[in-house]
Amino acid sequence: MGSYRFILSGGGTGGHIYPAIAIANELKVRYPDAEFLFVGAKDRMEMEKVPQAGYKIEGLWISGLQRKLTLKNLMFPFKVISSLIKAANIVRNFKPHAVVGTGGFASGPLLKVASGKGVPCVLQEQNSYAGITNKLLANKVAKICVAYDGMEKFFPKDKIVKTGNPVRGDLVSLTSNKVEALSFFGLQPGKTTLLVLGGSLGARRVNKLIEQELSFFKAQGIQIVWQSGKLYYEEYKKYDCENIKVVAFLNRMDLAYMAADVIISRAGAGSVSELCIVGKPVIFIPSPNVAEDHQTKNAKALVEKDAAIMIKETELDDKFEPAFSNLLSSDSLGEKLGANIKKLALPNATKEIVNEIEKLLA
């Protein structure tokens, strides 16, 4: 057999792109001679992120339907037809041995065409509530790798494999120690450290909350690593001082997690999977602005297992201070949340997803 060829498709957000890159990297370790091609949506972030990771990418002219009647919606049928034609050309020319879809609009046309041509296809669904593209493709693919229990309400039961979500390699083996982590951020040992995560772009409501609560944190003797996101860094960098480290982006997530005693985070699928591996007490503030309210559903799946606290954006003013104070004053609550979230960790997800892909390689 000559070298294998793999197509990976997913995008629109880091939550779809990052798992696709992680899967490609693992396939490359096992098949150093393999050829890889990514397929994304023309004007989305994958067109930049995938080449940065060292892979070729082709863009389809595709986007989602808007909720109201717009010119974009009128273009939608033409985009679908254009994408199906281009996807058919890509599959015909590249001749993949397997295709992997990690969600996002571009994976729809590509996997529809590939499965129709008899190419084995694998879906990876990161969320506890399946995305629309993956639901539409479920009957056409060979295997569906998921991260949560109860996914048979969206997908055929016999195709589901619970693998978890791919996470960064440096998190699976957190080796740095706390003293080293604190000194990296210029913080003091012996003080409670809060880590605030709003995603790479940042989260407006989370940033507003932290700004609002700075005197409350100060009164509690808390020091903070505050990842404001690049959209908001200019607005919040003025708060950077001895006890508050404001950063646009965290290049050393392993050290940030190691330094933290308590974490405040959005509840995107990738973040949730990472936080399970980290095993620290977390307060989730889900973004209400994502498709099908995925983040609230992801956070609820953990709250139901006594593995995290969730506060909705609309309830922050009333509930945040009591919940945070309660967590600080009760060692047993923090320990219970940390232990329970760690039980949900699936650190070998990438390897297990690639095992499933290998089974389909004839």
The pLDDT of residue 66 is above 70: no
The pLDDT of residue 37 is above 70: yes
What pLDDT digit, counting tens, does each position of 224-269 carry? Answer: 999 998 889 999 999 999 999 999 988 888 899 999 999 999 998 8
Residue 177 has a pLDDT of 84
Mean pLDDT of the region 316-325? 96
Q: Which of 119-123, 202-206, 278-282 shows the lowest per-residue confidence on average (mean pLDDT)?
A: 202-206
The pLDDT of residue 101 is above 70: yes
Residue 170 has a pLDDT of 66
Which position has the higher pLDDT, 49 or 15? 49
Residue 260 has a pLDDT of 95
Helix (H) or strand (E) holding 164: none
DSSP state letters, 89-151 = HHHHHH--SEEEE-SSTTHHHHHHHHHHTT--EEEEE-SSS--HHHHHHGGG-SEEEESSS-G
User: What are the tokens at 206?
Assistant: 């989370």
| Mean pLDDT taken over the chain | 90
Q: Buried (b) or exposed (e) across 100-130, using 16+ Cβ within 10 A? A: bbbbbbbbbbbbbbbbeeebbbbbbbbbbbb
The pLDDT of residue 148 is above 70: yes
Please indicate if the annotation marks 295 as binding a ligand.
yes
Please indicate if the annotation marks 204 as binding a ligand.
no
Please indicate if the annotation marks 287 as binding a ligand.
no
Q: Could you tell me the pLDDT band of residue 173, with boundaries at 50, 70 and 90?
A: low
How many residues does the structure list for the chain?
A: 362
Q: Could you tell me the pLDDT band of residue 117, with boundaries at 50, 70 and 90?
A: very high
Please indicate if the annotation marks 13 as binding a ligand.
yes
The pLDDT of residue 147 is above 60: yes
The pLDDT of residue 218 is above 90: yes
Which position has the higher pLDDT, 254 or 69? 254
Report all structural domains of the chain as residue ranges with CATH numbers, in order of start: 5-167+347-360 (3.40.50.2000), 170-343 (3.40.50.2000)
Q: Could you tell me the pLDDT band of residue 172, with boundaries at 50, 70 and 90?
A: low
The pLDDT of residue 132 is above 90: no
* Sequence-ordered list of residues with C-beta below 8 angstroms from that of 6, at least 6 positions apart, any chain: 24, 27, 34, 35, 36, 37, 96, 97, 98, 99, 100, 357
Mean pLDDT of the region 293-315? 94
CA-wise closest residue to 266 among 310, 315, 209: 310
What is the Cα–Cα distance from 338 to 174, expressed in whole angstroms? Answer: 15
Which position has the higher pLDDT, 211 or 133? 211
Q: Could you tell me the pLDDT band of residue 174, with boundaries at 50, 70 and 90?
A: low
What is the Cα–Cα distance from 207 to 11, expressed in whole angstroms? Answer: 26
Which position has the higher pLDDT, 336 or 63? 336
Which position has the higher pLDDT, 95 or 198? 95
The pLDDT of residue 2 is above 70: no
**What pTM value is reported for the model?**
0.84
The pLDDT of residue 204 is above 80: yes
What pLDDT digit, counting tens, does each position of 193-203 carry? Answer: 999 998 766 78
The pLDDT of residue 304 is above 80: yes
Residue 176 has a pLDDT of 67
Mean pLDDT of the region 320-336? 94
Please indicate if the annotation marks 133 as binding a ligand.
no
Q: Could you tell me the pLDDT band of residue 61, with boundaries at 50, 70 and 90?
A: confident
